[in-house]
Chains A and B, each alone.
Chain A
C-alpha cells in the first residue's frame, strides 16, 4: 500500500506533525496475547466480591435482578451491539423499530405522549428535564426535594451551572418525609420558578401522597417526576396526576448493575413540548413503496444540525440498553412485573417490621407509605461503621444517604435498605440478627 502511494516509509505519513510535538514513547508496556489478557483481567476481577456472594439489600436507583437469558441473547446479536447510530434508516430498520417499541413502552408506563430514545442515566435525564423546563417556562429557580439523593442534586447543580440556574430544596415533614406543599405554593407565587421536580419513590423510598397534589400547587410551572419504572406497574402513571415530564433510571429492566454503568436514562414529555425535547427520537413513516418504516426524526433539534442552538449536546446515548429495557419488559410481562414490585414491597415491610424495636435504630425512619425500600436512622454510631459490621456477617445492608464530600453538612445517619429479588426469608432473619449484634452496646471492661 505504501508503495502504491509512492511513499518510502510509514513515517512519511506523519511528516505533517511537527517534530516539536512528537513523542518517542507512551510508556504503557508491551502488548499481550488474548489468553494473557484474560488471565490479567480475571486476576483483577477476582479482587471483587460480586453481589451474589452476599445477602444483598443495596438499592437506590440501581438494582440487581434476575436477567432472563433471552435479554442477553438479543443484546449479543452483533448486528445490534456493533452497529452505529441509525442515521441511515434504510440500513438500520432493526434498531429503529426496537427503539420505537422502547419509546412506546415508556409512554405506556408514564401516561405521557412522547418518549425519546434514551439519555445517559436517570440523574442526567433529570438534569436534561430541568433544562427542558427552562425552555418551556421563564424563571431562574428550580425546586427539588431536599430528600433527593445527594448525587442527583450534584448532577442537577452541574446541569444548571452554565445557565446560572438556582436550585431550591423543598423541605419535608421531619416525621412523615412528605413534601411541604405550602412552602412550594409560597415559592411558586414569587414568580421566578421555572420548574419543579419530585421523585417516586423518593430518596427515602417513600411514596408521598402529596405528589399527587403537586401539579395543582405549581399550576402552569412544569412538573418533572422522576419515577422508578418498576413502581409504575403498580402506581398511578405520572401523566395522570399532571406531570409534564417523566424521567427515570432504567437499569433495573434487563441490565446488570455493572458497578454503576452503563445505565439508562428515560425521558417522556407531552406532545406540545416535543420540539424542545433533548435526545434522539424515532418516528414511524413509510418508504418510497409505501411500506412501514422507521427513522430518526425532528433531528433539527439536535447538535449535529442546530449546533449551539440545539436542545442538548447529547449525541451518543444508551440505545443498546433501551433494547434491553424493552426485551426485559416484554419477556417478564406487565403482570409479573407488578408482582415483582409487590413482592419486593412485602419483603421490605416484613424486614422493617422485624427491625423495629432494635435499640439504636429508628425503622422505618418516616411514617409514610413505601414500596421496596425504606430509610432507617442510626441513632447511635454512624452508618459506615454499621454497614462494615454487617458486611463482616456477609450482608450488603444498604447504603448511607450522607453526602461523602468533606464540605457537606452532616445530617442524621440514614441508611437506605432494599431487599432484592433474590432475598429470602432467611436473608432477612440474618439481617435482623446481625443488626442487633452490630448495634449492641459494647460493655465496659469486656475483653
Chain B
C-alpha cells in the first residue's frame, strides 16, 4: 500500500496570530473587594483566533496524526481496538454530559444506574466480588489497589513486616512504579521461558511479601499455566495476588481473575472495553476486589435500595477518595455500551478472535524474525529483531519503517528480557485482510535495505525526530522558545547601521 501522510508546515498558534498586547478589551469590570495586589498586571499572553483559523489549524494537525480509524495499531499490551461510534454519540447526550457530580442523588439516578450496572457486569466478567470505577486509569487502579493492600495489612497488624511487592521481570513499568508510590519495595522475579518460574517464586515469597503482581496472559503473550500453583504459593505466605488487567482481552469468558485466585484486579476500560485512547488519555481504571479487600475500596460506593440508587459513604474500612467525582463517567458509559452490545457470546468471540489474530500473525511473522517463546500465544506475541543487528539495523529502524507503510509501529524494546524485542497485538476488530496487509508491510520492511531502514520514516510529516536534541536543549513551551530566540538574537553580530540614503 502506498501511504503519504499530509505534511503541513503548520505554525503554532502564536505564530498564526500573535497575541494583542495589551488586549483590546481588558477586564474593565472590577471585582468588589479584590485587593489591588491581587489584580493581574501582566496580561495573559495568548492569541485569540477566529473559528476558521482554529478549525483549519487543528484539522491540519489531525492530518499529521495516526488514529485507529486510519491505521492499524499493532501495539502489544495496548489493545488498540476499534472504538464504536455509537458510544461517542451516547456519551455526548445531555443526560450523560450535562450532569454535575454534586447534583442531588434524586436527579442523577441515570448516572448512578450506569455506574451500578457497569460495576456489576465487570464483577461478573472478572469474577471479583465488587468493582469500583473511581480510578482514572489503569496505573491509578494499581496504586489504589496497593493502598488497599496496605490498609488491609495495617488492620491485621502486618504492615511493618510486609513491605515487599514481588513482580515478574515481564511486568509493565507501571507495576513497580505503583508499588513504590504505595510505599513498598519491589523485587523482580526472573522468568523462565517467558513465564513465572514457580520455584524462584517459592523461594522469594515470605512473611515479608505483601503482594505478587501478575499479568495473565503476560507481556510475552503467554498464559501463565502454573497460575494455580502461583496462587497457592502466594496465598500460603499470607500475601495478596494482584491482577494487572491490561491483557484481559485474551481471556473473556474463558477464565477470569477471580477464578484464577486473584484478590484484586484492575481493568483498563480503554483497552478491553473499547473506549478511545484520546491520544494518551482519558482512560478509565476499574478496580475489582475479592472478599478480603472489598471493604477497602474507595468511597462512595454506588448502592441500590429498592429501585433507587444512592452513593454509599458508610464504609468504615474504605481508604477514602482517590479522585474527584466517581470515576471517568464518560468512559464508563462507553464501556457499558460496549458490553451491552456484545453480551456473553459477543465477548467470548472477542477473545477467540483476538487470540486467533495473534496466532495467525505470529505464525506469519515467525518466517522473518525469531519468536523467542513457545508457539501458542494469546492476544499478543513477541519477536526478536536481534538478527537484523548484524546489518546494523535496530528494532527502532524497523518500527519507523513500518510507519511508512501506514500502520503504526509495534511496542518495542519491551519486554526487556528479549533482545531487540517487538511486542505485537492486533485485536479482534482487525480483519483478515488487514492482518495480511500488515504481514505484507512487515515483510517489505524487514527486507528493505539497511540504509533505507535506518533513514526511515520517509512518508510522514517529518523525518526521524531528534529525541536526543529535545532532551539536551529543553524547549517545553512557547516561553522556552522565546528565551532561546532571544539568546540567538543576542549572539548575532550587530546589524551595521544603515547607510543614509543619498538625496536624489
Chains A and B are bound partners: yes
In the assembled complex, A192 has its CB within 8 A of some CB on chain B? no
Contact B278 A320 (CB under 8 A): yes
Q: Which stretch from A139-147, A180-188, A276-284, A430-438 is at the chain B interface?
A: A276-284
Q: Which stretch from B44-52, B380-388, B490-498 is at the chain A interface?
A: B44-52
In the assembled complex, B168 has its CB within 8 A of some CB on chain A? no
Question: Which residues of chain B in 342-375 are interfacial with respect to chain A, using CB atoms and an 8 Å cutoff?
Answer: 342-347, 352, 355-357, 359-360, 363
Contact B408 A91 (CB under 8 A): yes
Contact B54 A38 (CB under 8 A): no
Question: Which residues of chain A in 127-177 are interfacial with respect to chain B, using CB atoms and an 8 Å cutoff?
Answer: 131, 151-152, 154-155, 157-159, 161-164
Contact of A330 with B54 at beta-carbon distance under 8 Å, contacts A41-B90, A124-B140, A307-B173 already known: yes
> Which residues does chain A contribute within 8 Å of B185, judged by CB atoms?
308
A310: contacting residue among B44, B173, B276, B475, CB under 8 A: B173
Residue of B nearest to A275 (CB): B474
Q: Which bracket fits the contact residues of A?
A: 35 or more
Question: Which residues of chain B in 168-203 are interfacial with respect to chain A, using CB atoms and an 8 Å cutoff?
Answer: 172-174, 176-186
Q: How far is the CA of A92 from the CA of B462 in the complex (A)?
A: 10
A82: contacting residue among B14, B67, B103, B114, CB under 8 A: B67
Minimum distance in angstroms from A308 CB to a CB of chain B: 4
> Which residues does chain A contribute within 8 Å of B292, judged by CB atoms?
none
In the assembled complex, A440 has its CB within 8 A of some CB on chain B? no
Pick the most buried of B176, B359, B399, B479: most chain A CB atoms within 10 A of its CB. Answer: B479
Contact B35 A44 (CB under 8 A): no
A258: contacting residue among B51, B96, B106, B107, CB under 8 A: B96
Contact B277 A109 (CB under 8 A): no
Contact indicator per residue, chain A 337-355, by CB within 8 Å of chain B (1) or not (0): 1110111011001000000
In the assembled complex, A410 has its CB within 8 A of some CB on chain B? no
> Which residues does chain A contribute within 8 Å of B319, judged by CB atoms?
158, 161
Contact of A5 with B181 at beta-carbon distance under 8 Å, contacts A78-B69, A317-B281, A345-B32 already known: no
> Which residues does chain B contribute within 8 Å of A362, judged by CB atoms?
none
Question: Which residues of chain B in 188-247 are interfacial with respect to chain A, using CB atoms and an 8 Å cutoff?
Answer: 222-223, 225, 227-228
Minimum distance in angstroms from B314 CB to a CB of chain A: 6
Contact B177 A303 (CB under 8 A): yes
Contact B336 A41 (CB under 8 A): yes
Contact A257 B44 (CB under 8 A): no
> Which residues does chain A contribute within 8 Å of B345, judged by CB atoms?
30-31
Question: Which residues of chain B in 244-274 are interfacial with respect to chain A, using CB atoms and an 8 Å cutoff?
Answer: 251-256, 259-261, 268, 270
In the assembled complex, B142 has its CB within 8 A of some CB on chain A? yes
In the assembled complex, A404 has its CB within 8 A of some CB on chain B? yes
In the assembled complex, A85 has its CB within 8 A of some CB on chain B? yes
Contact A310 B280 (CB under 8 A): no
Contact A285 B38 (CB under 8 A): no
Q: How far is the CA of A237 from the CA of B39 in the complex (A)?
A: 9
In the assembled complex, A363 has its CB within 8 A of some CB on chain B? no
> Which residues does chain B contribute within 8 Å of A27, judged by CB atoms?
124, 344
Residue of A nearest to B6 (CB): A94
> Which residues does chain A contribute within 8 Å of B63, judged by CB atoms?
79, 94
B463: contacting residue among A74, A154, A291, CB under 8 A: A291
Contact A258 B336 (CB under 8 A): no
Contact A97 B40 (CB under 8 A): no
Q: How far is the CA of A152 from the CA of B424 in the complex (A)?
A: 40
> Which residues does chain A contribute within 8 Å of B293, judged by CB atoms?
none
> Which residues does chain A contribute within 8 Å of B31, judged by CB atoms?
234, 342, 345-346, 349, 369, 371
Contact B34 A207 (CB under 8 A): yes
Number of interface residues of B (CB under 8 A): 207
Minimum distance in angstroms from B235 CB to a CB of chain A: 14
Q: How far is the CA of A27 from the CA of B124 in the complex (A)?
A: 7
Contact of A406 with B323 at beta-carbon distance under 8 Å, contacts A82-B68, A235-B39, A236-B40 already known: no
In the assembled complex, A441 has its CB within 8 A of some CB on chain B? no
B13: contacting residue among A94, A159, A330, CB under 8 A: A330
Residue of A nearest to B104 (CB): A391
In the assembled complex, B109 has its CB within 8 A of some CB on chain A? yes
Contact B173 A236 (CB under 8 A): no
Q: How far is the CA of A334 from the CA of B460 in the complex (A)?
A: 34
Minimum distance in angstroms from B227 CB to a CB of chain A: 6
In the assembled complex, B423 has its CB within 8 A of some CB on chain A? no
Contact A21 B227 (CB under 8 A): yes
Contact B330 A258 (CB under 8 A): yes
Contact B278 A104 (CB under 8 A): no
In the assembled complex, B158 has its CB within 8 A of some CB on chain A? no
Contact B109 A26 (CB under 8 A): no
Residue of A nearest to B47 (CB): A330
Residue of A nearest to B329 (CB): A259
Minimum distance in angstroms from A391 CB to a CB of chain B: 5
> Which residues does chain B contribute within 8 Å of A162, judged by CB atoms?
146-147, 150, 180-184
In the assembled complex, B290 has its CB within 8 A of some CB on chain A? no
Contact A240 B102 (CB under 8 A): no
Contact of A77 with B466 at beta-carbon distance under 8 Å, contacts A320-B281, A330-B13 already known: no
In the assembled complex, A327 has its CB within 8 A of some CB on chain B? yes
Contact B281 A58 (CB under 8 A): no
A237: contacting residue among B40, B106, B144, CB under 8 A: B40
Residue of B nearest to A304 (CB): B173
In the complex, 17 of the A-B residue pairs with CB atoms within 8 angstroms, ordered by the A residue number, are A70-B55, A77-B62, A85-B277, A90-B460, A104-B477, A108-B44, A155-B323, A235-B40, A257-B100, A259-B96, A261-B327, A263-B324, A283-B470, A283-B471, A285-B473, A297-B471, A319-B281
List 19 additional contacts besides A17-B223, A260-B327; criterion CB under 8 Å. A26-B344, A41-B93, A41-B333, A64-B100, A74-B58, A83-B67, A83-B279, A104-B477, A104-B479, A207-B38, A261-B326, A287-B462, A298-B471, A320-B278, A334-B19, A336-B25, A369-B31, A387-B104, A405-B314
User: Closest 5 A-B residue pairs measured CB to CB?
Assistant: A260-B325, A333-B48, A260-B101, A31-B343, A162-B183
